[in-house]
Structure 1
Amino acid sequence: MKLSRADIVRGWTDLWLGDRGLSAFLVLVFLALFLGPIVDWPTVRLLTSLLLSLLMVAGVVSMSRRPTVRWFAGMIALCAIVLRWLTHIVATSAIARWSSLISLIFMVLLTVGTLYKVYADDRPVTAHRIMGAVAAYLLFGITWSILYGLLDQVLPGGAFSITGTTGGFDAERQEKLLFFSFVTLTTVGYGDITPTHDLTRMFAVVEALVGQLYPATLLARLVSLEVSRRGSQPEKD
């Protein structure tokens, strides 16, 4: 039986809107997160931008079944994708700042949408939902790194002291802030990157609190949902 284009589109949409989409989304997050910093080649940076673009597109599709929400998120994602690719072509500070701002707005929406899909209802707790919870945790780190990058660009004199850098915002500095974000989220704190502005110090404290409270509260909610679901099932004789 030959599938029509509408059936194929419907199948992909159902995949991303369902629990399996959370697992696929986690794979995209891992690839976009770890590929660029490992291999410092211009071609790989382009590939990282491509993966981030795919991540945004997948995020739009999986965010909600409501067309209005997906349309709104799609417009923001489109602007973020265009601005990110422009940074490879026209490397101006204005484009970099707008790219960071629009990307930050979209990542906040994507993180909230992912959390809603994972924790909003009392469906059975599957491996896909657990992977979605992990993806949300990684999105926290990515979102905060974009926020740090934006603050580092707009605050006078920069917002961070980074060992081994001479100043000026570029892709390498953003990757170092990504490292700082996850170090802060996991409360490791190596000390080679330090916030130097009151605003960035405040956000670093908030991120550290989120990093501690998320496993203790939201991940525990998955356990409570599964326990309550099993408790509501009738006992078998």
Structure 2
Amino acid sequence: MSVTRELPENAGFFVTHRWSILLGLLALLILLDGFDDHFVWADTIALWGLSLLFLGVVGATERRTTLRLIMAVPVVAWFAMILVSELWGAKMDGSLAVVAAILLFGSMLISFRQLIGPVHSEYERLSSGIFGYLLIAMIWGLIYWRIEVAHPGSFNLPDDVGQQRAPFVYFSMITMTTVGYGEITPAASLPRMLTGLQAIVGTMFVAIFIGRIVGRLK
């Protein structure tokens, strides 16, 4: 049986459509990632877009909960490091990557909570599930990218692909969907195990997600 949450009559547009908005923003960020090697401004826009995404996820978390407080701490750290980097030119790429990984993982967990918790709309539950699915692909893609940067040659890459982030997010998405075109393949033991694990996680997530949605719509 479906469980829905009543909202105040004056609830704003973001409150009633927050996961749909966050899903649209995440999709735009993934698409924008493909332009980072063509336009110098793409990285800057992606950085601030990711900041808005993190703020939106915190806003979508239930008020006065421990989870919201836990998520708010790295968000504050994220904005503080961005300001330090922009105002004083400090190199904080490594620290930003760590905080981003924490926030992405936390955002994924929060989106998964919507699959089992009460919501005001089943469409919002659907949006939060797709949001979490895309986040899994993004997180795995960032892991692949960092492995290749730390240990070049961990992946068999086309000649026109260097150490950009976007090809690894793409590889993650086609692995997640078990498409496997084959132009990028793991060449070391760790990425091979990770790609196999991701394929299993992706398949299980789709099965569980569809089961939850269909079960609640009955």
TM-score (norm: length of structure 1): 0.74
Determine helix, strand or coil for the equivalent of 1:42: coil
Query: Is residue 225 of structure 1 aligned with residue 203 of structure 2?
Result: no
The share of aligned pairs that are identical, in percent, is 22
Match of residue 94 from structure 2: 97
List runs of 5+ in structure 2 lacking aligned partners.
1-9
RMSD between aligned alpha carbons? 2.9
Query: Is residue 32 of structure 1 aligned with residue 23 of structure 2?
Result: no
Match of residue 20 from structure 2: 23
Determine helix, strand or coil for the equivalent of 1:65: coil
Match of residue 175 from structure 1: 166
What is the CA-CA distance between 1:178 and the residue it aligns to? 0.9
Question: In the alignment, is the contact (CA less than 8 A) between 2:141 and 2:172 conserved in 1?
Answer: yes
Identify, as 1 or 2, the structure richer in helix: 1
Select which of 111, 115, 119 maps to 2:112: 115
Match of residue 138 from structure 1: 134
Counterpart-to-counterpart distance in 2, 1:78 and 1:144: 24
- Residues 23 and 141 of structure 1, relative CA distance in 2, 3 Å threshold: same
| 1:3-55 CA distance string (max 9 Å, x none) | xxxxxxx956xx65x55211111111111111231472111221121111111
Counterpart-to-counterpart distance in 1, 2:51 and 2:138: 14
Q: Quick one: higher RCO (CA 8 Å, sep 6+), 1 or 2? A: 2
Match of residue 160 from structure 1: 155
Match of residue 128 from structure 1: 124
Counterpart-to-counterpart distance in 1, 2:174 and 2:79: 27
Select which of 30, 40, 56 maps to 2:54: 56
List runs of 5+ in structure 1 lacking aligned partners.
1-9, 228-237
| 1:148-202 CA distance string (max 9 Å, x none) | 2233334x345323212575x4xxx111111111111111112222222222211
Instruction: Give the letter for the 1:191 counterpart.
Output: G
Determine helix, strand or coil for the equivalent of 2:182: coil
Instruction: Tell which deviates more after alignment, 107-116 or 122-131.
Output: 122-131
| 1:125-170 CA distance string (max 9 Å, x none) | 622221222111111111111222233334x345323212575x4x
Match of residue 7 from structure 2: none
| 1:47-97 CA distance string (max 9 Å, x none) | 12111111111112213323432232122133345556849x9696xx433
